[in-house]
Chain A
Amino acid sequence: MPHSTDEPGARETGRAEVGQVDQVAEVAEVPEFAEVAVVGAGPAGLAAAVTAADHGLDVVLLDAADAPGGQYYRSPADGLGATRPGRLHHHWHTFTELSARLAAHRDSGAIRHLAGHQVWTVERTGDGDWILHAVTGGDQETRTAVRARRMVLATGAHERQLPFPGWTLPGVVSAAGAQAMLKSGLVLPGRRIVVAGSGPLLQAVAVSLTRAGARVPALVEAAGYGAYARAPRVLAGNPGKAVEGARFGAALARARVRVLTHRAVTEVHGDERVEAVTVSRVDHRWRPVAGTGRRIACDALAVGHGLVPQLELALAAGCVTRPGLDGTHAVVLDARLGTTVPGVWAAGESGGVGGVELALCEGELAALSIIREVRGGVRGQEARRAIALGRSRNRLRAFAALMGTVHRPGAGWSEWLTGDTEVCRCEEVTAGRIRTACEELGAGDTRTVKLLTRAGMGWCQGRTCGFAVRELATAHGTGQEPGGPDRRPLACPVKLSTLADLDGPG
């Protein structure tokens, strides 16, 4: 490990000597102040930041990425020669419009956009303000802090993965990851790519892959689209979603992608990398039906099972969460997107996975709610806008709930695991070991499984395996509560010296 034994020691001595307080520490004593801090510059955060700035509020927008847009509006780095990045996106015009407003506000100083800033925790001060602690720089070595009276958490989601035999083989990529690779670097994970899992993202991914030149022999969806039709009122309220679905269907047909519903990839084959997958029929509980396996040759597999809200900062702030119909936890929100903690609002996937349209709507609505609180009321036009946004939100939330129900993994998925299938890749914990921890050592919840097996203790801190571990604990445990959302008091790894720098004198 590269290190210098002299330098940190010298810093220690330096702090101990009077009058040698280093600059960084001094700056951090009085953090930058803002009326509103928005965390996340994806659709929800962007909408919240520009709306708040439009109405004269002083905003700091913190985002881990170098360019705004989040996971959804991810765009190629300059110099890659991408001429039409919008081709891979929907609502691209909305993004270009938001970006233009952000740029204008940045120029005028109304929004300070701290790109490349990863917030690792938030804390409340004695007088009710929030301190957002962030790291930035190439190796995330520089620390900063922002002090804000109010906070909008638009921290998005990460992809939900379910393990299956062979999923650690090179060539297996996450569906969202494949999409991100395309959007940011315009690279394909393979030439003949099976897309599998569950959820509407798969359609978008399959279409993007074929447009970028890949052959997609099959889109394998474990649920069925028919379930949507059983909620006609929700569909009637969301005609745009039906149109979107039809458009994807047509695009998939044109690209000769076979759509296989009620089926799942239950095994991946190959020595060095993916050569083929086995696709099996699954019943309504996602249990593989014996004897239905069929091999499909491919050189890559893009797989995903929906998204999981990233709640680290909401939990750090003390926001109450609730379990959703999709099997994930989300922040409890009121009609104005306030969390259970005063001074904290949340928008987009934080309140439950619902997609880009909902994120845009909620970001704007959260900002209007803050304006109402700051000003003690809003003008008629803004009030009407808030009502309209509230209606859209209810409609879109109803659709999100339907989507979550349709694509929630059925309890039988774990039957496609073998004892030696790795569930936690970071710590190489197999399904068999988790089963033993539950059946013989008395674990029945995620935390105890983690304590007894190390599942979820590695680099990703359980972001990849958390859902699967919870499901296995429920399936094999003794009927205990699986526990609330996974807690990660540090939202990202932080260097020890960075933490040490925060230690004041005395």
Chain B
Amino acid sequence: MDVVIVGAGVVGAACAHYTSRSGLSVAVVDRGPVAGGTTGSGEGNLLVSDKVPGPELELALLSATLWQQLSEELPPDIEYELKGGVVVAASQDSLAALSMTATGQRRAGVEAYHVTPDRLRDMEPHLAPHLAGGCHYPQDAQVQPAVAASELLRSAGRRGALLCPGEEVVGILTDSRGAVRGVRTTRGELRAPVVVNAAGTWGGDLAALAGVHLPVLPRRGFVLVTEPLPRLIRHKVYAAEYVADVSSGSAALQTSPVVEGTPSGPVLIGASRERVGFDRTLSVPVVARLAAQAAALFPVLGDVRVMRAYHGFRPYLPDHLPAIGPDPRVPGLFHACGHEGAGIGLAPATGQLIADAIRGKRPALDLAPFAPERFDAE
């Protein structure tokens, strides 16, 4: 065994896919099932539109290309759809801010087109009237995240990867020099010179087992799911305020409407962000706010019934960037976690960077901004 990947979410699955494809023998271990954590609670967003120029946007652009390749390799069940995103602004002020963001994004290689109010109604006929304008991002896409993760794992499995769901890692094995030798699990030991921490929200706990500090915290989000509808909403549509909420470090509740249709019919309504630990109870005020914002954006949804609501916990690090790459504090330990709400989108790039880093190949992107030890100086 060359590599043990801890975590069978989409990031762990992508790491398994790319490392096994580079010829390494891989085991994936997860205390729960496939896609049992944040992956299974996500909407499957593959977004470039919500990222400002910088390392995360570079990661997203690389991922966008890789997802397109994966959509040709993996079965159609992953429901990859290059549907494009439409960001709308209600006021002239927010439109001005949106336009400025878009200008910066364009320089970084993002396709972004200004949309006039008239054209907005053509693109999304059910949008509320009187919006100031918006921006169209054709590179935004969507997948069914749980299916995508399990298909990535299945593809790794075909190349010999061992999948161990329901097996919890309880210790990191190290040699006398402190280098990784594998993991101890509830069922025994898996020995390998490389361990990849793709444990998502629990990535901080796994790092602690290796004796290192990685401050991953959960940030809760709710999603409302409506009854199945004919295709009313064509793009991923969200309010300009969403970008500000995504990058906010506040513990307080933020909600900004994100609305989209799915190939199966139901409309998904997000997105709330709050730091409340792992509280799993339904928050009526949050759900009410999401509903109000979605109905304001798409009045037609007012009469639609919400069938269910679910929540997930985004694994976030204080500077909103994931930890990707080798940990200089523990030789053999690699991190691939802390992707917050963008893990589905950023998974392929993360998997490829990790595979290259393990192989000693020069990675496609500079890993310095994602250095896992960057919080030690605090």
Contacts and interface: CB of A to CB of B under 8 A. Distances in A.
Given A12-B295, A461-B308, A447 B40 contact: yes
Contacts of A1: 229-230, 300, 303-304
A112 interface: no
B303 A497 contact: yes
B147 interface: yes
B166 A480 contact: yes
A340 B59 CA distance: 46
Contacts of A437: 150
Nearest to B146: A451
A504 B225 CA distance: 22
B284 A502 contact: yes
Interface string B268-310: 0100000000000111110111111011100111111111111
B358 interface: no
B33 A444 contact: yes
A503 B289 contact: yes
A3 B300 contact: yes
A261 B295 CA distance: 55
A377 B66 CA distance: 69
Contacts of A121: 282, 284
B15 interface: no
A81 to B, nearest CB: 35
B260 interface: no
Contacts of A488: 308
Nearest to B301: A496
B151 to A, nearest CB: 7
A133 interface: yes
A178 B353 CA distance: 60
Contact of A442 (B33, B128, B226): B33
Given A442-B33, A478-B166, A490-B306, A9 B291 contact: no
B306 A494 contact: yes
B149 to A, nearest CB: 9
Contact of B153 (A442, A493, A504): A442
A444 B165 contact: yes
Interface string A1-44: 11101011101100000000000000000000000000000000
A233 B303 CA distance: 57
Given A9-B299, A495-B306, A442 B34 contact: yes
A500 interface: yes
Given A500-B292, A503-B291, A8 B303 contact: yes
A133 B287 CA distance: 13
A493 B36 contact: no
Interface in A439-461: 440-445, 447-448, 451-452, 454, 457, 459, 461
A9 B292 CA distance: 11
What interface size band does chain A fall in? Answer: 35 or more
B150 A489 contact: no
A493 B40 contact: no
A318 interface: yes
B35 interface: yes
A493 B33 contact: no
What interface size band does chain B fall in? Answer: 35 or more
A493 B292 CA distance: 16
B165 A480 contact: yes
Main secondary structure of the interface of B (DSSP, over half): mixed
A496 B40 CA distance: 23
Nearest to B303: A3
A321 to B, nearest CB: 14
A442 B36 contact: no
B34 to A, nearest CB: 4
Contacts of B369: none
B288 A503 contact: yes
Nearest to B264: A454
B349 to A, nearest CB: 23
A373 interface: no
A316 interface: yes
A499 interface: yes
A316 B282 contact: yes
A441 B150 contact: yes
Contacts of B88: none
A267 interface: no
A497 B284 contact: no
Given A318-B281, A448-B146, A9 B128 contact: yes
Nearest to B13: A442
Contact of B295 (A131, A480, A500): A500
A481 interface: yes
Contacts of A427: 264
A316 B309 CA distance: 12
A447 B33 contact: yes
Nearest to A10: B299
B178 to A, nearest CB: 33
A8 B295 contact: yes
Contacts of B299: 5, 8-9, 12
Contacts of A357: none
Contacts of B153: 441-442
A424 B165 CA distance: 25
B227 interface: yes
B163 interface: yes
Contacts of B305: 493-496
A473 to B, nearest CB: 9
B295 to A, nearest CB: 5
Nearest to A141: B303
Contacts of A283: none
25 contacts: A2-B303, A3-B300, A8-B299, A123-B281, A123-B283, A316-B281, A441-B150, A441-B153, A442-B8, A443-B33, A444-B166, A447-B36, A451-B40, A452-B35, A459-B227, A489-B310, A490-B309, A494-B305, A494-B306, A496-B303, A497-B302, A499-B224, A499-B290, A499-B306, A502-B284
Interface of A: 1-3, 5, 7-9, 11-12, 121, 123, 131, 133, 316, 318, 427, 437, 440-445, 447-448, 451-452, 454, 457, 459, 461, 478-481, 488-490, 493-497, 499-504
Enumerate the 10 nearest inter-chain pairs by beta-carbon distance, A residue then B residue, closest first: A499-B291, A8-B302, A451-B146, A502-B288, A480-B166, A503-B292, A497-B302, A500-B292, A493-B305, A441-B150
Given A12-B296, A452-B146, 6 more contacts: A1-B229, A445-B36, A451-B35, A490-B306, A496-B305, A501-B288
